[in-house]
Amino acid sequence: MARIFSGIQPTGHLHLGNYLGAIRNWVRLQQEFECLFCVVDMHAITLWQEPEALAQATRETAAAVLAAGINPDTNILFLQSAVPGHAQLAWVFNCVARIGWLNRMTQFKEKAGKHRENASVGLYAYPNLMAADILLYKATHVPVGEDQKQHLELTRDIAQKFNNDFGVALFPVVEPLILGPATRIMSLRDGTKKMSKSDASDFSRINLTDSADSIALKIRRAKTDPNPLPDSPDGLEGRPEAANLLSIYAALTDSSIENVCQRFGGSPFSDFKQELADRAVAALAPITAEVNRLMADPETLDSILRSGAERARALAAPVLDEVYRAIGFLQT
């Protein structure tokens, strides 16, 4: 049976890339599959987080997932740090994954930057913890944005090596689900850079908590080029900012880039941006309102997360047991 697992880091505000690249797909998948959605606070601390800000961002991230339409009764929504099995299995995977495998991870190189010697050991081992998140529940499908593909390949390698080393068929082969026309939303200031929580400029991204006015302003100020919009996707060659805005529009309206080109081909960016802003506000305003409502009621939010963690622990326990037996840890 298929089981979905996905995770999101509670670092700063969620943005349109998280919504279109990840959370919106989760909302659709919950109709068909058994799903676990995890706020990965242990991944967040691979980079420094102010404790109070981390706690606030953790609640806000959980609230955003609920506000986007995840049903916490039919799915499991929980915090990674509330289920010890993630750390326990991650340690096992630290001993399965090879240093050479981790050395190839491009996200570590990006995040560690020039000061690699000064990066946390956790940042380096991050993909092993991610593999543990998924495999602790023997999840089979993982909806993510493009940027996580390499980590999922590593998850497959770890699962396979564990199965081979111990002569078991314990872990499944994990499939990434990279869905929709917006698997990689780019910065509004630079079409070659990913839209990211950590970009210094707030004008680079649309946050799920932005007001309608601020969304409209950011889209009006978004970088473009002097040419009108093309009437087919071929005309987007070498125009990363135009390609990005069109794919955001396609995702928001559930249409294809072809259709959007047909509709706006020849128009100036100003007309298109007005419509794009209207669409973005229409999609995000109800989510923002619901996030604010949930944030005002932390007891309800915490009790949803507590119940999620309880159910996650119950699913994880027998898998960890099986892993420990396979390894030869004495069961006393």
Residues annotated as part of the active site: 111, 194, 197
Residue ranges binding ligand TRP (CB under 6 A): 5-9, 40, 43, 130, 133-134, 142, 144, 148, 151
CB 11 within 8 A of CB 207: no
Amino acid identity, position 18: N
**DSSP 8-state symbol, 72:** T
Partner from ligand AMP, ligand TRP, none binding residue 183, C-beta < 5-8 Å depending on class = ligand AMP
Within 8 A by CB and 6+ apart from 50, the residues are none
The residue nearest ligand TRP at its CB is 7
Residue ranges binding ligand AMP (CB under 6 A): 8-9, 17-18, 21-22, 144-145, 147-148, 183-185, 194-195, 197
Complex with ligand AMP: residue 8 or 70, whichever CB lies closer: 8
Partner from ligand TRP, ligand AMP, none binding residue 46, C-beta < 5-8 Å depending on class = none
Complex with ligand AMP: residue 147 or 258, whichever CB lies closer: 147
Q: C-beta of 146: minimal distance to ligand TRP in Å?
A: 10
Q: C-beta of 166: minimal distance to ligand AMP in Å?
A: 30
Q: How many Cβ atoms sit within 10 Å of the Cβ of residue 167?
A: 8
User: Where do runs of H (alpha helix) occur along 139-268?
Assistant: 149-166, 212-221, 240-252, 257-264
Within 8 A by CB and 6+ apart from 213, the residues are none
Q: By C-alpha distance, which of 193, 180, 318 is closest to 254?
A: 180
Per the structure block, which two tokens stand in for 2? 């298929």
Partner from ligand TRP, ligand AMP, none binding residue 10, C-beta < 5-8 Å depending on class = none
* Calpha distance 32→328 (Å, rounded): 37
Radius of gyration of the chain (CA): 21
Complex with ligand TRP: residue 109 or 293, whichever CB lies closer: 109
Task: Find the helix or strand (DSSP H, E) in which 25 lies.
Answer: helix 24-29
* Calpha distance 29→26 (Å, rounded): 5
The residue nearest ligand AMP at its CB is 21
Partner from ligand AMP, ligand TRP, none binding residue 195, C-beta < 5-8 Å depending on class = ligand AMP
Q: C-beta of 125: minimal distance to ligand AMP in Å?
A: 17
Partner from ligand TRP, ligand AMP, none binding residue 18, C-beta < 5-8 Å depending on class = ligand AMP
